Amino acid sequence: MRFKRHEEARSDGDLTPMIDVTFLLIAFFMVLINFTEADQNELIELPTSVLAKPPESPLEHPIFVQLTKNGTVILGGEEVPLSGLKPYMIRESEFLRLKNKSAADATVIIRADANAAMGKVQEVIKTCQDSKFEVFALRAEEDIN
């Protein structure tokens, strides 16, 4: 008696789900990168400094305040007069309070234009201090020369 050998059906793996997941990861990281650039504005030309260095670790509660050369501030992507800073800082303080944090736990990062008046920078700091913020960081570009 002779038995016929049946060739087993060859099954190839379907790579479509793996490709889909790869593209989803790429899209996720592209969106993530775009959000980190939202804290910067091209209207602000930072001053250069030999002492400037990048932060050693990410800040836990950063609040970005950008001061233009005209003396206005950019808050959340919107340019407002300096008088609009106090209500913004009060809202930020309330937001921190909802997270069981205080204004002293946050770091106010001031990105002032190189041509902004120093008095305006001091006014920004004073307004933030009136809202109980205590920790400040001034941003500058690193002078590589």
Instruction: State pLDDT tens for residues 59-113.
Output: 888 999 999 999 899 887 888 999 999 999 999 999 999 999 999 899 999 989 9
Cα pseudo-dihedral 35, 39, 42, 43, rounded to 10: 140
For residue 89, which of 42, 134, 137, 38 has the smallest C-alpha distance?
A: 134
| pTM recorded for the entire structure | 0.67
